[in-house]
Amino acid sequence: DAGVIQSPRHEVTEMGQEVTLRCKPISGHNSLFWYRQTMMRGLELLIYFNNNVPIDDSGMPEDRFSAKMPNASFSTLKIQPSEPRDSAVYFCASSWLAGNTDTQYFGPGTRLTVL
């Protein structure tokens, strides 16, 4: 089975532009997570979906960030307008949440550079 798929793998854009990152979770998983990784702050959870519903978006930095999950096999993270401080690697992860276990499987990430 394919792992978590993310696209694009690399994105370079100019400040003020809209950026859309895409994720396809592992088939059958019911939970999806978006993370941001930077040298300064490490891995930070941005938002968590369960059964396509956003459950915890407390990590979303500000209104410029939005995430959607229209169906069980697709999610997007959008930044509008983008700023240089948004430069980071963005990871999508998925899991099957059952009982007390929630083992997350990560995608390869999207490296975003905002000039």
Partner 1 sequence: GQQLNQSPQSMFIQEGEDVSMNCTSSSIFNTWLWYKQDPGEGPVLLIALYKAGELTSNGRLTAQFGITRKDSFLNISASIPSDVGIYFCAGQPSGGYQKVTFGTGTKLQVIP
23 within 8 A of 76, measured Cβ to Cβ = yes
Angle, alpha carbons 11-16-19 (nearest 5°): 35
Enumerate residues 6+ apart whose C-beta is below 8 A from 49. 31, 32, 33, 55, 67, 69, 75
Question: Of residues 52-91, which lie at the interface with partner 1 (CB under 8 A)?
Answer: 55-56, 91
Nearer to partner 1, 50 or 87 (CB): 50
Contact call for residue 46 and partner 1 (CB under 8 A): no
State the Cα–Cα distance between residues 115 and 113, nearest whole angstrom.
Answer: 6
3-state secondary structure of 15: coil
For partner 1, which stretch binds (CB under 8 A), given 16-24, 63-71, 74-82, 97-105? 97-105
Using the contact rule CB under 8 A, the part of the chain among 17-25, 71-79, 80-88, 96-104 near partner 1 is 96-104
Of residues 8-27, those binding partner 1 (CB under 8 A): none
Size of the site for partner 1 (CB under 8 A): 23
CB 21 within 8 A of CB 110: yes
- Near partner 1 by CB under 8 A: residue from 23, 34, 107, 114: 107
Residues that bind partner 1 (CB under 8 A): 4, 31, 42-43, 45, 48, 50, 55-56, 91, 93, 97, 99-109
